[in-house]
Structure 1
Amino acid sequence: MPHIKPRQIVIDTDPGIDDAIGILLALASSEFSIAGITTVAGNIGIDTTTRNAGRLLAFAGRNDIPVFKGAAAPLSRPGPEPLNLHGKEGIGGVDLPAPARQPEGRSAVEWLTEFLLNEPAGTIDIFALGPLTNIARLILDNPEAAKRIGRIITMGGVIYEAGNVGPRSEFNLWADPEAADVVVSSGLPLVLVPLDVTRRVRATREFTAALSASGKPLASMVADLIGSYFETSTHQESRPLHDPCVMLFALAPELFRMEDLRLSVSTGPTGEAGALIIGETGAPVQVATGVDGPAALDLLARTLASS
């Protein structure tokens, strides 16, 4: 069989336990070539999310991948308080080495602009795992570069279910609704993986034990990360593995049920911020609304075990 060239991707992220799992999954897959990681404040402050990105790369021995510090705050409103569920360091207390390489001198948006303008149009995908501030700033400040993105696959929003920070709001879009509005209304190719899907991807303790037993370093680290994602020592099922669903969709879109919806984003007061509105005046978005959860977990395990 002919060799298929890996897809070039940029991971925009606020690690975060589930971000970390998604990053390690991408590192384990031969189908992705990670050109760089851009960071954003979200789960925790920008200095910590940037350091965590470097720590993950140091653990994986991938010091060839640059990290670019991005937005420290939303476009136009105060940032959220750090989420306690990710621990003081934002990574669930898991032991990771210090970064082996310092963040680059250019900002995330500066680098993205240059990188996109220098690569063939449509060949770079962005996997967005946090608030969409960096991507929105790219669209606003450098629209010609943004138009060269192949597609954006983002974890965010909720369609038919209740939100996790408001009645109809999910954290990533709620944290910077103005940025989410810019991205959704931009007309750029956008795939949205909302809570409706990610809540169906939860690991069991048997799953984490099997990952640990594989003997593969990335798999064992993911097992440790998921282990910190159980609500109590007696829970047999983890919190949802939200962000890895972006990578899982890119690897196996056939595992997901998709709908073409026209969406807009509420930029109203806090309780409504980030809510997605379905209507004819919205922009077209490909939305994942269902997933084969067991098959997605199996793909996660197989990819990690192959690294």
Structure 2
Amino acid sequence: MCGAILPWRDTGERISKNKGTDQIMTARPLIIDCDPGVDDAVMLMMALASPALDVRAITTVAGNVPLHLTSRNARMMCQIIDRTDVPVFAGCPRPILRAPVTAEDFHGESGIAGLDPFEPDTPLARPHAVTQLIDMLQAAAPGEYTVVVTGPLTNIAAALVMAPDIARGIAQLVIMGGADTAGGNITPHAEFNLFADPHAGAVVFDSGVPAAVLNLDVTHTVRAEPERVAAIRALPGERPAIMAKLLDAANTLEARWKGGQMTPMHDPSTIAYMLAPDLFAGYAARVSVVTEPGDRFGKTQVSAQADGPHTWVTSADADAFFALVESLVAS
């Protein structure tokens, strides 16, 4: 159902196509684990457009929509923005323990509202995403990779359980997930990614791997207000037009379910944080996840600790955030 699968080999050579001409670049090695998803699509556009980021692999997980759609959608985005050089690996089709939960109401039946779905030319890469994560991270130099996670943490948790030594290859996880003062977006207490697989979240946060957590406390303060989308739409070229379509569709869906509010920049916040951490504020903490059944199921619990392994991000400069988005899609 996910389409054909081909083996993939990392040649070690990094090529950027962001400026219209191929050029070898030194950039920050990055793995993206995602569940596209409209806001994942925006995030992928930002990451793949940035010459400062060397996206070595995209792994997909069930989340916003089922796995066969998240895997197709990731490849769609790579094709749409001419980055089929980045391999896409399909991962876990369901959470570790709980019943699957998806979010078509917010992302459209295809998962990427605003774009017409199609079957990409480039097939899925082989092997399974969890196996690929283990292989890449075991072969990595200490702290070589940053891993951005914008869906349920199922793939990352499975990799850490199967091969705890992969933590050595991770400089930092940059996770979109969780909520504290803002409350949840799928229950009064829980954010979707952690609610979709709280047991995976518990494994990842308990692992001690350093993580920056871009949560609803911060993403709800950075919204795609109409004037901000209009500024992107006014830029010349195909990429700004695609970005504006995605944000318009997300705004329509968000307004329908959230009393007219515009869409928060949930997943894109991870890439903005990587490229411009000075736009954000937060504090050192230790994060845990409620896995016991009840009304707080999937809630993140945040304890400020000076030596904690996690950074709980709390605020962002929204205007500078969108200026960064504009600069990426205009490049």
- Structure 1 position 297, deviation (Å): 1.1
Separation of aligned partners in 2, 1:189 and 1:80: 27
Aligned pairs, number: 304
Q: In structure 2, what is the equivalent of residue 58 of structure 1?
A: 79
Match of 1:17 among 10, 25, 38: 38
Contact persistence 2:105–2:253 (CA under 8 A): no
Is 1:304–2:329 an aligned residue pair?
yes
CA distance in 2, matches of 1:226, 1:261: 32
Q: Give the partner amino acid of 2:156.
A: I
What does residue 285 of structure 1 align with? Answer: 310
Matched, 1:87 2:108: yes
Q: Which residue of 2 aligns with 1:272?
A: 296
Does residue 73 of the first structure (1) align with residue 94 of the second (2)? yes
Secondary structure of 1:250 counterpart: helix
Amino-acid identity (%): 36
Residues 1-307 of structure 1: pairs in structure 2 closer than 5 A: 5-95=26-116, 97-231=118-252, 238-269=262-293, 271-279=295-303, 284-306=309-331
User: 2 CA distance for matches of 1:233 and 1:276?
Assistant: 23
CA distance in structure 1 between the aligned counterparts of 2:27 and 2:122, rounded to whole angstroms: 24
Judged with a 3 Å threshold, the aligned counterparts in structure 2 of structure 1 residues 233 and 73 are, in CA distance, closer, same or farther, namely closer
Specify the SS of the correspondent of 1:231.
helix
- Name the Cα RMSD after superposition: 2.1
Gaps of 5+ in 2: 1-23
Amino acid at match of 2:262: S
2:209 and 2:309 in contact (8 A); partners too? no
CA positional deviation for 1:270 = 5.2
Q: 1:62 to 1:232 in 2, by over 3 A?
A: closer
Q: CA deviation at 1:146?
A: 3.1
Q: Give the distance between the partners of 1:134 and 1:147, measured in 2 at CA.
A: 17
Look up the equivalent residue of 2:187 and give its one-letter code: G
- Distance, in Å, in 2 between the alignment partners of 1:136 and 1:232 is 30
Structure 1 residues not aligned, in runs of 5+: none
CA distance in 2, matches of 1:264, 1:185: 7
- CA distance in 2 between counterparts of 1:105 and 1:4 reads 26
Structure 1, 4-13 or 182-191: larger mean CA deviation? 4-13
* Preserved contact between residue 12 and residue 39 of structure 1 (Cα < 8 Å): yes
CA separation in 1, counterparts of 2:28 and 2:86? 15
**What TM-score results when the alignment is normalised by the length of structure 1?**
0.93
From the superposition, tell whether residues 124 and 202 of structure 1 become closer, same or farther in structure 2 (CA, over 3 Å): same
Normalising by structure 2, we get a TM-score of 0.87
Mapped partners of 1:141, 1:84: distance in 2? 34
Query: For 1:164-183, what per-residue CA distance to the aligned partner results, in whole angstroms no more than 9, with x for missing partners?
Result: 12222100011000000001
